């Protein structure tokens, strides 16, 4: 029997469930004024469209699923690079680009660094 990746298995099971549930399945993920459409892979905040690269989208999705709880750097790295995690500076660059797209145009920051742990998304209510 060949070894398998549990995270990959979980992702495949979720994909099958999404496909079989059809119309009744919630295709939007909301965190405060942030809206992520899981079908079209589009993101908007306060009605304003946000353009993200694939890595930024994966990071945002990982954070949104756990919001308002913090997510470790290791969890984000595993979501981006399941096979081989590069150096930590690459994750910082991706976080910087995500912050630029997600927070720069707005007064309130949503992407917060949790020192010595990771990152989290917050809303105005839990700021």
Give domain limits for the chain.
26-121
Query: Model confidence over 17-28: pLDDT tens digits?
Result: 766 655 455 688
Query: Model-level pTM?
Result: 0.75
Query: Model confidence over 43-91: pLDDT tens digits?
Result: 999 999 999 999 999 999 999 999 889 999 999 988 888 888 777 678 8
- Looking at per-residue pLDDT, the higher value among 122 and 25 belongs to 122
**Beta-carbon contacts of residue 94 (< 8 Å; ≥ 6 apart):** 55, 56, 59, 80
26-121 classified as CATH 1.10.1040.10 = no
Q: Which two tokens stand for residue 80?
A: 């981006």
Q: Rounded to 5 degrees, what angle do the CA atoms 80, 61, 35 make?
A: 155
């Amino acid at each position: 029997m060949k070894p398998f990746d549990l995270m990959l298995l979980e992702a495949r099971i979720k994909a099958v469930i999404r496909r079989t549930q059809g119309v009744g399945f919630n295709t939007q993920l909301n965190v405060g004024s942030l809206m992520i459409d899981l079908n079209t892979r589009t993101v908007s905040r306060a009605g304003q469209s946000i353009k993200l690269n694939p890595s930024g989208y994966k990071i945002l999705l990982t954070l949104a699923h756990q919001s308002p709880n913090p997510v470790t750097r290791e969890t984000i790295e595993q979501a981006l690079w399941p096979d081989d995690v590069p150096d930590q500076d690459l994750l910082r660059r991706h976080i910087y680009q995500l912050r630029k797209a997600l927070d720069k145009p707005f007064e309130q920051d949503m992407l917060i660094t949790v020192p010595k742990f990771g990152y989290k998304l917050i809303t105005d209510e839990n700021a």
